[in-house]
Amino acid sequence: MGRASRARRVATAAAFGGTGLGAIGAAAAGLMYGESKLARRRIAPAETNPPTADGLWTAPGVQSKRDKLVFAMLGDSSAAGYGVHRDAETPAARIAVGLSALSRRPVELVNVAEVGAQSSALLEQAERVLPRKPALAVVMVGANDVTHLVRASDSVRHLSAAIELLRENNIEVVVGTCPDLGTIRPIAQPLRWMVRRLSRTLAAAQTMAVVGAGGRAVSLGDILGPEFATERHYFSEDQFHPSATGYARAADVLLPSAAAALGLVTVARPAGPFTSDKARPIARAAARAASRPGTEVVGTSVDGVATGRHGRWARLTRRRAGDVITPTPEAAVHDQPATMSDTDR
């Protein structure tokens, strides 16, 4: 069964309450469960919280008095930035500074991502950001679902519910789909082979759900490889979460689509051997994107019709953030929210 077919089955199961991929067999399931527990023991537990990057980020040359743009980050430890030590090194901060440079406006970051979160936490996270009225929400989630062997259909159902809530409140949504976990060092064979298959299938199914709910999906694919597999400095100390260098790569992939969602100028180019304006059935588009990091998938129409014989039409493309050179977060001004002790003074 191809990845497009598996993704279609997962998405269908999510909609109708089925199991999605079907059983892998009792013996195989037991082996994978044992291997996943062993892998989690090899990964150092989160002893400290990621740095807090919430607050106002202003790129150099941007007037701080201009109307601010509110941006929310949702998801798991990758969205929270676990593994780095400075707020400017988190992916959310890097995206915020990039959006400030592109929009010429200050950007207020609200990050509700949590270490260890699975897709089941997304709806509650979405509810928490609604009072802040963000214009954009970026989601990074899926790795914990795979390592905890959560059914892909369940993961996708939770993701869809969160996106639908955000879209109902006129919030643009960009989702960095589940990365390919096959390059993670603490994960040994045969689990490594299985999590690669599961993570790519989940990424394709997430893409279908995101597009169906009106968001943009961006493939992270094997952005943590192949060079990440040989260069230890791309990972943090636990060899599972990215380092500052790894997060910078992920942020650079997500920023152009985040900018496009807000109507900011970006440059689109062909995503591989297909043109950026060619419509494809969503399942095929999702399967192609899953293994091609940096590929954006967004809904489109053919002759004014959004759905064809094989389901929703989608377009694949790659983007870059126009001709603007995004400054590093270290060069930006970061005004953190006042703490309780600050307001009591």
pLDDT tens digits, one per residue of 137-164: 999 999 899 888 899 999 999 999 999 9
**Is the per-residue pLDDT at 136 higher than 60?**
yes
The whole-number pLDDT of residue 341 equals 39
From CA 242, how far away is CA 236, in angstroms rounded?
5
pLDDT at 304: 85
* Residue 238 falls in the annotated catalytic set: yes
Flag whether pLDDT at 270 surpasses 90: no
CB-neighbour burial class of residue 16 (10 A; exposed 0-12, middle 13-18, buried 19+): exposed
Catalytic residue, candidates 36, 77, 243, 257: 77
Residue 85 designated active-site: no
From the options 3.40.50.10260, 3.40.50.1110, 3.40.190.10, 3.40.50.410, give the CATH code of 3-337: 3.40.50.1110
| Contact of 224 with 183, CB cutoff 8 Å | yes
Q: What is the pLDDT of residues 62-119, one digit of tens each?
A: 988 789 999 999 999 999 998 888 899 999 999 999 999 999 999 999 999 999 899 9
Could you give the angle at the alpha carbon of 296 between the alpha carbons of 84 and 97, nearest 5°? Answer: 40
Provide the percentage of residues in the chain whose pLDDT is more than 70: 70
Residue 85: predicted pLDDT = 84
What is the average per-residue pLDDT within 171-182? 90
Check if the beta carbon of residue 125 is closer than 8 Å to that of residue 112.
yes
Catalytic residue among 87, 155, 199, 241: 241
Q: Please give the mean pLDDT across all residues of the chain.
A: 79
Mean pLDDT of 53-69: 91
Structure tokens that stand for 131 in this block: 């009072």
The DSSP letter of residue 185 is T
Per-residue pLDDT of 206-240, as tens digits, reads 999 999 999 999 998 766 555 444 555 555 454 55
Structure tokens at 10: 């997962």
Question: Furthest-apart CA pair in the chain: how many Å?
Answer: 64
Task: Give the mean model confidence (pLDDT) for residues 320-338.
Answer: 77
Dihedral (C-alpha) 222, 249, 206, 32: value to the nearest 10 degrees? 40
Q: What percent of the chain has pLDDT over 90?
A: 42
Q: At what angle do helices 3-16 and 282-290 cross, to 10 degrees?
A: 120
All residues at 6 or more sequence positions from 22 whose CB lies less than 8 Å from its CB, including other chains: none
Active-site position among 5, 148, 238, 276: 238
Q: Whole-prediction pTM value?
A: 0.83
Summarised one tens digit per residue, pLDDT across range 276-299 is: 567 889 998 898 888 788 889 999
Q: Which residues of 207-232 are buried (b: 16+ CB within 10 A; e: fewer)?
A: bbbbbbbebbbbbbbbbbbeebeeee
> 1 vs 341, which has greater pLDDT?
1
